[in-house]
Amino acid sequence: MALLQISEPAASPVPHERRLAVGIDLGTTNSLVATVRNGIPVVLPDDQGRPLLPSIVRYRDEARGVDVGYAAEALQARDPQNTIVSVKRFMGRGLADFTDDRRFPYRFIDEPGMVRLATRAGIKSPVEVSAEILRALSVRATLSLGGELAGVVVTVPAYFDDAQRQATKDAAKLAGLNVLRLLNEPTAAAIAYGLDNAAEGTYAVYDLGGGTFDISILTLSRGVFEVLATNGDSALGGDDFDHRVYCWMIETAGIAPHSAEDTRLLMLKAREAKENLTLHPNATIVATLSTGDRVDLTLTADTFTAITRTLVAKTLTPLKRALRDAQLTPFDIKGVVMVGGATRMPQIQKAVGEFFGQPPLTNLDPDQVVALGAAIQANVLAGNRSPGEDWLLLDVIPLSLGLETMGGLVEKVVPRNSTIPVARSQEFTTFKDGQTAMAIHVVQGEREKVPDCRSLARFELRGIPPMVAGAARIRVTFQVDADGLLAVSAREETSGIEAAVTVKPSYGLSDSDIAGMLQDSFTHAANDMVARALAEAQVEADMLVAATRAALTADNDLLSDEERAAIVKAMDAVVAAREGSDQRAISAGTKALNQVTGDFAARRMDRGVARALTGRRVDALT
């Protein structure tokens, strides 16, 4: 039975006139999807009421597809090389970007461009892995909202560079999503706080997620959200706190993991200990390795604080830089918004409180606040702005953009913390007599030398009229769109010769790569449907067998020997079918077990009702 659609008298009575849009927080540890319902942003849970989706993808063999979320999480210690966690840390990055790739249990393929991972289903890029997570969230949203999505806003760390942003957009495109905007995570959090709390003033957003750290300074005034400065570290997050606990465990127990499975198991135990210490003074760590070595340790809150002190300090350095860029002091900040599950750690909250001289704001769930803000932005961009709802978002570019000049130096054209969208131009000239071409190398970063910055693109301007050195006037224009993505053009002013490039970072995927992956997804759609049906049948079988066993234990006396034997036989048949890959056989076995237990279930219900009524008066039941 469908619920009635109720509208205000002045509102449109046609539900489908509202475009369906969602915000997605693609996180390192967990991801979420949210939307706006009746003017209120809400996170969309899965069919079991869970708001979070673990950002974990497990690859089975090519024909059987993938597990995403909780199903993959349950098997990560048993199948670590094919179960990808924290993939966000690999987005737009090559193997050279990792200081210690040995901490990861994966088989890395160091190809030109973005690092790849070898799995039993083939070689996968971080973009493909992230697309699986985004696809799962898209399915959740479509089922929850009852229609196709008109568009999404996907959040990214404020300190993601152009390559990482492009990789994120590629992943969304591969997942079949229409990206309305890439939105910086701290800005999304500020939107949620600003509209939810009607806040005005200057705020700091301290965002410590599983794999990245951002700090943004924003002003909120009369519906205008203006980012004054942003800073951070795209390789610092809760995962690094887990790794410190892992190293402490290895050193304290005097053991050395002998397999990827051991490493993943201990990392899981490290994360559990970290989370337990949020609410308790100590955490017990117990694990048995494949070698038979046993770990039995107790980690105290004081020890945890001591071994992670340098990580906490690493978050304060970008914070100081952001304040300096915004020309503010800690005392100018009205409130500090905490974002990301890692901000629940007591030592983080203490350090932030001491730095700003005030307790941080924690009245919104730090795991959900980014998704809620993204949902608000998505709702507006989709054209669902309510009457009287008037606000403006002014975000900034996190890292400077510039060109390589003589001597391998960087000439910055668009300085960091410039409000986007932005267009900036600068004139350059030739350095040789008769020079008719110029190679233009676009870089991003704050260092002065090209090798210390990230290369984004190269292109050439040809056809320059021969002139003496320094006579040509070449105007180079940088344009950064609202997603923080870049296009560069060059024009020789006297002749009108032009060249341009839409920056497609070497760490991203080409359009042909994405088209090929999309074609692959269509090609394997039938196999994916079969794999999904098999998985659903297996889950249903497992649940029915578990319930039947529990019922036999509790009310065995309600059955005759013949009935009990028939139930056990049917249950064994389901278990045997469950081990195979025939979805129809599993479903048939499940149906047979349901039929043979029908009378048993009725008797159990009668007994339950009788127990509930025992000792109660008739008039008390009316």
Sign of the torsion formed by the C-alpha atoms of 62, 92, 376 and 210: positive
Percentage above 70 pLDDT, the chain: 86
Q: What is the pLDDT of residues 477-526, one digit of tens each?
A: 888 887 777 888 888 888 888 877 666 655 555 555 555 555 565 565 56
* Mean pLDDT value of segment 239-253: 92
Q: Which of 255-269, 447-461, 512-526 has the highest mean pLDDT?
A: 255-269
Confidence label for 607 from pLDDT (cuts 50, 70 and 90):
confident
Q: How far apart are CA 111 and CA 94, in angstroms?
A: 8
Exactly one of 46, 185, 261, 262 is catalytic; name it: 185
Residue 441 backbone dihedrals phi, psi, to 5 degrees: -115, 115
Q: ∠ CA(383), CA(389), CA(390), 5° rounding? A: 95
Q: How far apart are CA 442 and CA 448, in angstroms?
A: 13
Q: What is the pLDDT of residues 38-63, one digit of tens each?
A: 888 999 999 899 999 999 999 987 66
185 catalytic, yes or no?
Answer: yes
Exactly one of 73, 132, 207, 395 is catalytic; name it: 207
Q: H or E element: which one contains 315?
A: helix 309-325
How long a stretch of residues is the chain? Answer: 622
511 catalytic, yes or no?
Answer: no
Six token digits for residue 129 = 């892995």
Q: Say if residue 127's pLDDT is above 70.
A: yes
88 catalytic, yes or no?
Answer: yes
Of the candidates 141, 28, 17, the residue with the CA atom closest to the CA atom of residue 86: 28
Return the minimum-mean-pLDDT range out of 44-53, 165-174, 183-192, 610-619.
610-619
Of the candidates 204, 198, 193, the residue with the CA atom closest to the CA atom of residue 228: 204
pLDDT at 487: 83
25 catalytic, yes or no?
Answer: yes
Q: ∠ CA(290), CA(295), CA(301), 5° rounding? A: 140
Looking at per-residue pLDDT, the higher value among 347 and 604 belongs to 347
pLDDT at 243: 92
C-alpha 492: how far from its chain's center? 43
Please report the DSSP string for 59-123 in residue order.
E--TTT-EEETHHHHTTTTTSGGGEEE-GGGGTT--GGG-S-GGGS-SEEE--SSS-EEEETTEE
Confidence label for 279 from pLDDT (cuts 50, 70 and 90):
confident
pLDDT at 131: 94
Exactly one of 88, 169, 269, 274 is catalytic; name it: 88
Six token digits for residue 422 = 């932005």
Q: How far apart are CA 311 and CA 378, in angstroms?
A: 34
pLDDT at 16: 44
* Mean pLDDT value of segment 518-535: 62
Confidence label for 527 from pLDDT (cuts 50, 70 and 90):
low
Of the candidates 212, 248, 234, the residue with the CA atom closest to the CA atom of residue 342: 212
Peptide bond into 186 cis (omega under 30): no
Position of tokens 């304060």?
316
pLDDT at 454: 78
Q: How far apart are CA 137 and CA 43, in angstroms?
A: 11
Six token digits for residue 341 = 């599950």
pLDDT at 244: 94
Exactly one of 25, 67, 128, 242 is catalytic; name it: 25
CA separation, residue 599 to residues 255, 519, 611 (Å): 55, 50, 19
Domains delineated in the chain: 16-236+312-394 (3.30.420.40), 397-512 (2.60.34.10), 525-613 (1.20.1270.10)
* Average pLDDT, rounded, for the chain: 83
- Output the 3-class SS for 115-170: CEEEECCEEECHHHHHHHHHHHHHHHHHHHHCCCCCEEEEEECCCCCHHHHHHHHH
Residue 269 backbone dihedrals phi, psi, to 5 degrees: -65, -35
Burial of residue 8 (CB within 10 Å: 0-12, 13-18, 19+) is exposed
pLDDT at 146: 86
Confidence label for 209 from pLDDT (cuts 50, 70 and 90):
confident
